[in-house]
Chain A
């Protein structure tokens, strides 16, 4: 018994008084799915020999952590699945600018104005439609989703979802506050209180015919088709004769207080290298943001359709306004 107690006391002392080990690896705060980030990290370490420690969580929570930690942070890199968080971090002064020759590889629309973050892969907000559904042919714009004819036939996710919020921001910017508000109200009437917890379930519901049309990120459709190649669903690119499809990017930034800037830049350079772009984007069938690198084969090619002309940085700048709008309408 005494030995047990001594052992406990020893462990406690050891843990309490040992300083946090000076982290030697490159520390990445990642808000993106582990299964998409791990292969990239592995390839990076193999190529450069730089060891990486991955600290995964949710993007917003990690951004909070970064903010609170200030100059005590161990993070060198911040990866987020949503441009909103990246821009927010930039506003809060948490990042340092990437050197111009790396940043200029990415089109200006998909990075911060001051190069404090880079979009690495993009996803499109599209409609998934059941090919056998009646009376939904008229839907060619996301704003048609508010049409009362879709009552009970529409599948959308809950309003806490990051992709959903980002989409609403784009529509608000492109079509105006009032139109977006009316649209949200119309959708709210159409779905009642039945919203979906996950995008994958929306696609499932549309495929099974329980719902006729849904609003999702493009890759969920192909994920479903992977497992069920005969599923009666098709992708519809909305607003082709209007504002265009809403895009959002996942991206990365270098922490302002990183003590390993050189390695951190190496990592970003790897992300936008041809190999890195393929690895980061293709596992999830997203669009590489670097021009000239193709997305997965069955996805509608970037450039073959119209994309809403809203800089990704807006997703951060207008985030709170969007949240307010969603709350005013009371979207479930």
Chain B
């Protein structure tokens, strides 16, 4: 009987396995917010859709898309140039440069927005500098427009492009450059005709990350009052209690993000390049004096705007808070809350992502693809919508867990699941079935296999997945605002509250703690990465 069923399943290309079942379970849980959106938007009548279409959508589409394009261009310029110089030349302080390009990841978008708006005020550092340079009557530029939002989101996002492109560059091989040069190509021709095309998948992946962050960003756009889909959805829900219109807008946003994701996957799939494992690694030449100067000028400018200046601001105001004795026990409580939720969410996300990643890496079926795509919902739905979907579901189906940390953790897991799946899937590709089969033939059961073979091989991928989810949970604002247990304030929530009351000396230490809290995990990630390269 069992054999018969197995044969039947086999015929339909469905391989029943524990990991398959778990993967489906995870996907079902991740689909909850999407179901909420679909259900609510189905309640919209045709008239209401038409109304939405004519009144809000054109402007929102234009605002959101133009912002995504501009931030994409900005991040590409900064990320690719920095990655290129750092991996193609050796120069003094190269390690420091890598760090400076990654550190902006520790600063959330809304902190960037808050810092730069206060720096650009008349009595802010940049405001005073501006009036000193251009006269007291000159108008200081404002950030409450598309240029300002682009500026802020570019600084907060270019590091993703940098990381991915640098990784691709470090794996690229010199033979290709040499072959091109032998055939008479100039260095610039090599760059445009050989290097850049090979970098396309990495750039595409980095840009995809950036654009998805732009589409779902809530903090910066609401501080700078720039109407994108996410902000408008939030305002519809919280200002007018109009969940259906909000769901309708979310539906459009989901379609937009999905189209974008599919396009990105399509381009990436066609651009695979397999290198020869034996070929030589690229040993970058030393930079000339002039080059070193230019490199540091450029990287220094990026670092100044994206990390050093914000850090100086945080330190200055934190000092004020310290002197004014404003750092109370409550503050350390917020730090504790933030760390607790981030550690829990990161750990759970990594565990939950494992079956989905393994299932997809091993079995290529429609079912495994579907599981993977559904689990990526966190990428395409904005935080407030995920939070509300989960809230509605929990209140209706399992009200007993409402009000505790559980709901918040579930939301974080769903929101950042795609990050964890992506990095684990990459690692899972290295796990060839023959290793597992060998272990099995030597008598190892499923769990021994998992413990002694699968997990050790995946550990690198799991590590970076953990770090990525930890960082993003630590910075997460909108879902935390909605789902946190009563009286449970995290650092982002406090920053949000203090910033809206213009309490600079209270927002700054919280922002500083976010940076400090992220440093150890970033260090861990960088260390394991450099160990890999040895």
Q: Give the B-binding residues of A (Cβ under 8 A).
A: 8, 11-12, 15-16, 18-20, 23, 27, 33-35, 53-58, 60-61, 64-65, 67-70, 72, 74-75, 88, 92, 158, 160, 197-198, 200-201, 204, 208, 320, 323
List the A side residues contacting B400 at CB < 8 Å.
19
Asked whether any CB of chain A lies closer than 8 Å to the CB of B144, the reply is: yes
Asked whether any CB of chain A lies closer than 8 Å to the CB of B195, the reply is: no
List the B side residues contacting A92 at CB < 8 Å.
241
- Top 9 closest pairs, chain A to chain B, by CB: A20-B403, A20-B404, A53-B487, A60-B238, A15-B405, A74-B486, A8-B347, A55-B486, A61-B238
Contact for B406 among A16, A33, A208, A320, CB less than 8 A: A16
Q: Are A64 and B238 in contact (CB under 8 A)?
A: yes
Q: Which residue of B lies closest to A5 (CB)?
A: B347
Q: How far is the CA of A8 from the CA of B347 in the complex (A)?
A: 7
List the A side residues contacting B29 at CB < 8 Å.
none
Q: Which residue of B lies closest to A204 (CB)?
A: B122
> A70 with B395: in contact, given A61-B238, A75-B486, A323-B239 (CB under 8 Å)?
yes
Asked whether any CB of chain A lies closer than 8 Å to the CB of B69, the reply is: no
Q: Give the A-binding residues of B (Cβ under 8 A).
A: 117, 121-122, 144, 225, 235, 237-241, 340, 343-344, 347-348, 388, 391-392, 395, 399-406, 409, 481-482, 485-487, 489, 497, 500-503
Contact for A15 among B144, B406, B482, CB less than 8 A: B406
Q: How far is the CA of A33 from the CA of B241 in the complex (A)?
A: 23
Q: Which residue of A lies closest to B224 (CB)?
A: A197
List the A side residues contacting B486 at CB < 8 Å.
23, 27, 53, 55, 74-75
List the A side residues contacting B481 at CB < 8 Å.
57, 61
> A64 with B237: in contact, given A20-B403, A34-B501, A56-B497 (CB under 8 Å)?
yes
List the A side residues contacting B395 at CB < 8 Å.
68-70, 72
Q: Which residue of B lies closest to A33 (CB)?
A: B501
Q: Are B403 and A74 in contact (CB under 8 A)?
A: yes
Q: Which residue of A lies closest to B384 (CB)?
A: A61
Q: Are A72 and B482 in contact (CB under 8 A)?
A: no
Q: How far is the CA of A277 from the CA of B235 in the complex (A)?
A: 32
Q: How far is the CA of A53 from the CA of B347 in the complex (A)?
A: 30
Contact for A67 among B241, B347, B403, CB less than 8 A: B241
Contact for A12 among B144, B344, B502, CB less than 8 A: B344
> A197 with B117: in contact, given A8-B347, A20-B404 (CB under 8 Å)?
yes
Q: Which residue of A lies closest to B399 (CB)?
A: A72
List the B side residues contacting A27 at CB < 8 Å.
486-487
Nearest CB on A from B73, distance (A): 24
List the B side residues contacting A8 at CB < 8 Å.
343-344, 347
List the A side residues contacting B343 at CB < 8 Å.
8, 11
Nearest CB on A from B491, distance (A): 14
> A54 with B487: in contact, given A61-B481, A64-B238 (CB under 8 Å)?
yes
List the A side residues contacting B487 at CB < 8 Å.
27, 53-55
Nearest CB on B from A86, distance (A): 14
Q: Which residue of B lies closest to A21 (CB)?
A: B404
Q: Which residue of B lies closest to A159 (CB)?
A: B225
Q: Are A34 and B497 in contact (CB under 8 A)?
A: yes
Q: Which residue of B lies closest to A60 (CB)?
A: B238
A-B contact pairs, 30 of them (CB 8 A): A8-B343, A8-B344, A12-B347, A12-B348, A15-B405, A15-B409, A16-B405, A19-B400, A33-B501, A34-B497, A55-B487, A56-B497, A58-B238, A60-B239, A61-B482, A64-B237, A65-B482, A67-B241, A68-B388, A69-B395, A69-B402, A72-B395, A72-B399, A74-B403, A88-B241, A92-B241, A160-B225, A160-B235, A320-B240, A323-B239
Q: Which residue of B lies closest to A200 (CB)?
A: B502
List the B side residues contacting A320 at CB < 8 Å.
240
Q: How far is the CA of A279 from the CA of B107 in the complex (A)?
A: 37
Q: How far is the CA of A158 from the CA of B142 in the complex (A)?
A: 14
10 further A-B pairs in the complex, CB-CB below 8 A; given A15-B405, A15-B409: A8-B344, A12-B347, A12-B348, A19-B401, A35-B503, A57-B497, A68-B395, A72-B395, A201-B121, A320-B240
List the A side residues contacting B347 at CB < 8 Å.
8, 12
List the A side residues contacting B406 at CB < 8 Å.
15-16
Q: How far is the CA of A55 from the CA of B484 in the complex (A)?
A: 10
List the B side residues contacting A54 at CB < 8 Å.
487
> A18 with B404: in contact, given A53-B486, A158-B225 (CB under 8 Å)?
yes
Scoring B239, B401, B497 by chain A CB atoms within 10 A of each residue's CB, the highest score goes to B239
